[in-house]
Amino acid sequence: MNDKFVYAPGPTSIRENVRLERARTTTNPDVDKDFIEFYKSTCDKIGKIIKTENPVYILSGEGILGLEAACASLTELGDRVLVLDNGIYGRGFKDFVEMYGGEGVYFSDDYNKAIDTNKLKGFLEKDHNFKYATIVHCDTPTGVLNDLSKICPILSEYGILTVVDSVSAMAGEDIKVDDWKIDIALGGSQKAFSAPAGLTMVSISEKAKVAMKNRKTPIIGFYCNLTIWENYYENKWFPYTMPISDIMGLSKAVDNILDEGVQEVLDRHEKIAGATREAIKEYGLELFLTDGYSNTVTAVKVPESIGALQLKEHMLKKYNTLIITSLKPYDNEILRIGHMGENAREDKIIYALNIINKGLKDLGFNSEENLVGLFNKYLAR
Ligand SMILES: *Cc1c(COP(=O)(O)O)cnc(C)c1O
């Protein structure tokens, strides 16, 4: 199971020092005050990466927990919530809103480019009575990156709280939580942070906190109630036993990012993603998007005669390499190159592109070019 080369837009590859960190001796995270300090310092370091003074928490649960927790904590029966929809995750947010009694209203835009902020402005001029809005930073199945620096301030002007799913962007694409007025920013350990799956990171603004406090009805549930974290540090008490080894691993992954430099990490993603996109186009393939390319994942259209699913199976069988397609309805149309986190390294992307090059040619794709050669050409520019 563990000998194949896996290259996906999450879970991403994990550096050895992160894996080893999880094997270290642990303490009792409920009662050992040193752990509380360690937890808080890890949260503060994440705050540095996402550029916020807001409190940051690490929750025990994979990225989806954060999405559900934000909706559970903010939504009361009948609340209108604006759901920005230009991708599969964006559209799916409505399910969480409605699970907790809210009325989700879509603002829908094309799935092959970033949200058009002028269209959004026009929509809001007519209808802006929303408690909060959900926005996906990078919608992973298609790799579209939405411009939070424009979208969130526009919503904020109308007094609409902003809940951002940045699970597959955070640490690979810039996110300035405070400057961009993001009330709740959500991340996951297994994407660009390159730690194992299992943790959600969440930052909460004062305004979001007040909205949770001012509810007329109590928040349903416990795990998804974000207010249970509020005074953990002052009270030296966690709502439940923290998964200490997971957090030790994440902390090491965060140190890896800070040691390299946050901006340097973002630049590395930009360089590798840019060269990948150029190489793909010159090779004779098409990108799924027309603009709004995320530097964390590239969605490549696979010719119909081959099909993304067949290509995936072939690469797995013949080359023991798992490179994945998209979600339905794009599962047979799109191959996803997940160059995020530790996957955004020259050795790994070159290996992946080499297998894609071979796989496509095995299945009859015609190109005089070699994907790796093209990538190297564009990387050098
Ligand atoms: C990965 C991801 C999540 C977390 O959910 P999964 O269960 O890992 O799919 C949430 N949002 C986005 C945009 C993601 O890419």
Distance (angstroms) between ligand 1 centre and the Cα of 79 equals: 25
Pocket test for ligand 1, best of 12, 59, 64 (most atoms within 8 A of CB): 64
Which pLDDT belongs to residue 2? 73
80 is in an annotated binding site: no
Distance (angstroms) between ligand 1 centre and the Cα of 366 equals: 34
User: Tell me: the pLDDT tens digits for 239-288?
Assistant: 999 999 999 999 999 999 999 999 999 999 999 999 999 999 999 999 99
Q: Give 206's pLDDT tier (boundaries 50, 70, 90).
A: very high
For residue 141, which atom of ligand 1 is closest to its CA? 15
Distance (angstroms) between ligand 1 centre and the Cα of 369 equals: 34
Q: Give 53's pLDDT tier (boundaries 50, 70, 90).
A: very high
Q: Which residues line ligand 1 (CB under 6 A)?
A: 10, 62-64, 89, 136, 139-140, 165, 167-168, 188, 191
Instruction: Report the CATH fold assignment for 5-10+262-379.
Output: Aspartate Aminotransferase, domain 1 (3.90.1150)
With beta carbons less than 8 A apart as the criterion, state whether 170 and 191 touch: yes
What is this structure's pTM?
0.98
Q: Whose CA is nearest to atom 4 of ligand 1?
A: 63
Residues in contact with 191: Cβ distance below 8 Å, sequence separation at least 6, in sequence order: 9, 10, 11, 12, 63, 167, 168, 169, 170, 171, 172, 296, 340, 341
Q: How far apart are CA 145 and CA 272, in angstroms?
A: 16
Res. 1: pLDDT tops 80: no
The residues spanned by each domain of the chain are 5-10+262-379, 16-259
Which pLDDT belongs to residue 226? 98
For residue 138, which atom of ligand 1 is closest to its CA? 13
Which pLDDT belongs to residue 44? 98
**Whose CA is closest to 73, among 93, 97, 47?**
97
Distance (angstroms) between ligand 1 centre and the Cα of 64 equals: 6
Q: Give 127's pLDDT tier (boundaries 50, 70, 90).
A: very high
Distance (angstroms) between ligand 1 centre and the Cα of 9 equals: 9
Q: What is the mean pLDDT of residues 144-158?
A: 98
Which pLDDT belongs to residue 97? 98
Residue type, 145: L
- What average pLDDT does the structure give for the chain? 98
Q: Where are the alpha helices (DSSP H) in 186-307?
A: 206-213, 232-235, 244-260, 262-283
Instruction: Report the CATH fold assignment for 16-259.
Output: Aspartate Aminotransferase; domain 2 (3.40.640)
User: Tell me: the pLDDT tens digits for 93-110?
Assistant: 999 999 999 999 999 999
Work out whether strand 334-337 and strand 298-301 pair parallel, antiparallel, or are unpaired: antiparallel
Q: Whose CA is nearest to atom 2 of ligand 1?
A: 167
Residues in contact with 201: Cβ distance below 8 Å, sequence separation at least 6, in sequence order: 43, 46, 56, 57, 58, 59, 66, 170, 186, 187, 188, 189
For residue 140, which atom of ligand 1 is closest to its CA? 15
Distance (angstroms) between ligand 1 centre and the Cα of 189 equals: 10
User: Tell me: the pLDDT tens digits for 287-339?
Assistant: 999 999 999 999 999 999 999 999 999 999 999 999 999 999 999 999 999 99
Pocket test for ligand 1, best of 164, 165, 194, 326 (most atoms within 8 A of CB): 165
DSSP 64-95: HHHHHHHHHHH--TT-EEEEEESSHHHHHHHH
Q: Whose CA is nearest to atom 7 of ligand 1?
A: 64
Going from the C-alpha of 197 to that of each of 116, 193, 321, 374, the distances in angstroms are 32, 10, 20, 33
